Copies of this chain bind each other. A is one copy, B any other.
Amino acid sequence: VRFFALYVYNQFAMLLRIDTILQRDCCLDRNLPILLGVSGGGDSLCLLDLLHRLGYPLVVAHLDHGIRPESSLDSNTVLKIAGSLGIPAVSQAASAPDYAREHNLSLEESARILRYRFLFEQAAIHAAQAVAVAHNADDQVETLLMHLLRGSGLDGLTGMALRSLPNPWSATIPLVRPLLGIWRHEIDTYCRERHLEPILDRTNLDTRYFRNRLRHELVPELETYIPGVRQRLWRTAGLLSSDRQILDNLTRQAWQAVVLGAGVDFTTFSLTAFSTQPVGLQRRLIRQSVSGLRPEARDIDYALVQRVLDFVECPSHTNQADIGLGLGIFLEGDEFHIKTWDTTLPVDGYPQITEDLVLVLPGEWHLDSGWILSAEIVMDVETARESALANQDGSSLKLSDYMLNRKIPARLRGAWPLLCLDDQVAWVPGHHLAHHFRLTRETKKVLAFQVGLK
């Protein structure tokens, strides 16, 4: 009788804990379907059982990664389990080994990419409110250690989240991990009590895999240093996660203040605004830019970020540098761009002209991209004389040197409009009048030219 009481108690305790987590932390609605990734292992069978008992409508999805010869049998087992509970289920076969070869990735990484892609595709098809996966507290600790050993900064050390939105696979469907606070031994007990029969995946025991070595060798060894180190590491992930939220918010604000423009293949920063940010945020802004330009790059190299910081502090004489991943940094006056090497930066912010115009004065002429040149006769010669700025220096300067001095970005110089009289340059729009065309006391008639946006 005593044993029976304990048995009931444990199960209900677990149900209550998960129920709270599902509502409070994962923000799930009990009336909308959840797409649940089920490998057939203990973790996913436990989560399937819990969600089903709590009354959430489910769709079970299983991906056969094609790694083990017996894996197609697993699909059948999972479909059968779902069927026995009256839950709709889908399975698909993929080849992680092929994908790994094609994309030069590790087998683990390939399996992960294929699995999440499949789960989110299925979630969209079944109009699921979320994709749920069964990572547990031990997985969380292993993830923290994995990122630590790889030299990740704060972002990796926060581990996984109970709910992530946006995530790398969707901007609208959250990824939830309700078991993140439940230890593997608790799940094992639950499975035994509920007579769930997990599929044994032998690859989980293979210590040639990095994560398995962490699980079976490193974590048990760390426990000999400080007992309870698992719990401490699990808590650390939580502490760092709340720190990260603060920094993520600051990064969003800094992005608004620092980034002047961003496209699929470039980010333009204000150098002055960037330089006033603390270095921790500078690093985050660079990483955000690079991960936008290279969404497939999972870990952004420390060295890449450092190259950008070094360049910004002390630019090379060519004003550009290779930063890796096929990206470059380009300095132009008070702006710098991180962009793919072959990208032409947009020129909308500057006057450009690709064909010669012959002007019949006065009038208005269209340049490129909505820029307009206008000319009108000025009546108030006196005021014009005071406001028109001309070069005071009569000595001549090569046009290319002048443009360099005036910090006109190199890429814009070729198509920068020039106002000419015969073969003499009278005005470089945005800059001074040529000395020869300055307004003197003897000037009687004034034509005012303006270049501006519509």
Q: Is the CB of A151 within 8 A of B243?
A: no
| A229 interface residue (CB < 8 Å to B) | yes
Q: Does A218 contact B (CB under 8 A)?
A: yes
Choose one: B218, B243, B245; the contact of A154 (CB below 8 Å). Answer: B243
A 247-306 contacts with B by CB, 8 A: 247, 249-250, 278-281, 283, 302
Are A245 and B278 touching (Cβ within 8 A)?
yes
Indicate if the CB atoms of B279 and A153 lie closer than 8 Å. Answer: no
Rounded to whole Å, the gap between the CB of A312 and the closest CB of chain B is 15
User: Would you call A221 an interface residue if the criterion is a C-beta within 8 Å of the partner chain's C-beta atoms?
Assistant: yes
> Which of the listed residues A226, A243, A281 has the most CB atoms from chain B within 10 Å of its own CB?
A243
Inter-chain contacts of A246 with B (CB < 8 A): 247, 250, 278, 280-281
Whether B235 pairs with A243 at a CB distance below 8 angstroms is: no
| A:127-161 near B, CB below 8 Å | 148-154, 157
In angstroms, Cα B217 to Cα A221, docked, is 11
In the complex, residue of chain B having the shortest beta-carbon distance to the beta carbon of A154: B243
Q: CA separation between A283 and B246, bound complex, in Å?
A: 12
Which of B150, B214, B226, B235 lies in contact with A149, CB distance below 8 A? Answer: B226
In A189-241, which residues have CB < 8 Å from any B CB? 210, 213-214, 218, 221-222, 225-226, 229, 231-233, 235-236, 239-240
B218 touches A225 (CB 8 A): yes
Number of this chain's copies in the assembly equals 2
Across the interface, A242 reaches (CB within 8 A) one of B149, B279, B302, namely B279
Q: How far is the CB of A45 from chain B (nearest CB, A)?
A: 30
Given contacts A246-B250, A247-B246, contact A236 B153 (CB under 8 A): yes
A243–B155 CA distance with the chains assembled, in angstroms = 11
> Is the CB–CB distance between B151 and A235 below 8 Å?
yes
- Considering the chains assembled together, what is the distance between the CA atoms of A233 and B153 in angstroms? 9
Note all chain B residues with C-beta closer than 8 A to A250: 246
In the bound assembly, the distance between CA atoms of A313 and B152 in angstroms comes to 33
Taking CB atoms, residues of chain B closer than 8 Å to A226 are: 149-150
Task: Determine if B243 and A149 form an interchain contact, defined as CB atoms under 8 angstroms apart.
Answer: no
Chain B residues whose C-beta falls within 8 Å of the C-beta of A225 in the assembled complex: 149, 210, 213-214, 218
The answer to whether B153 and A302 touch across the interface, beta carbons within 8 angstroms, is no
A125 to B283, CA, bound (A): 42
Determine whether the beta carbon of B280 is less than 8 Å from that of A236: no
In Å, the complex CA distance between A218 and B246 comes to: 33
Question: Given known contacts A210-B225, A247-B247, is B148 in contact with A242 (CB within 8 Å)?
Answer: no
Whether B151 pairs with A148 at a CB distance below 8 angstroms is no
CB <8 Å contact, B210 and A240: no
Q: How far is the CA of A225 from the CA of B232 in the complex (A)?
A: 22
Cβ contact within 8 Å between B243 and A150: no
Task: Find out whether the CB atom of B239 lies under 8 angstroms from the CB atom of A149.
Answer: no
Q: Report whether B245 and A280 are in contact in the complex, using a CB–CB cutoff of 8 Å.
A: yes
The chain B residue sitting closest to A151, CB to CB, is B232
- The residue in chain B whose Cβ has the minimal distance to the Cβ of A153 is B239
Taking CB atoms, residues of chain B closer than 8 Å to A242 are: 278-280, 283
What sequence of 0s and 1s flags, for each residue 333-348 of chain A, a beta carbon within 8 Å of any chain B beta carbon?
0000000000000000
A231 to B153 CA separation, bound complex (whole angstroms):
13
Known contacts A148-B236, A247-B247; 9 additional CB pairs below 8 A are: A148-B233, A149-B222, A149-B233, A154-B154, A239-B283, A239-B302, A242-B279, A242-B280, A243-B247
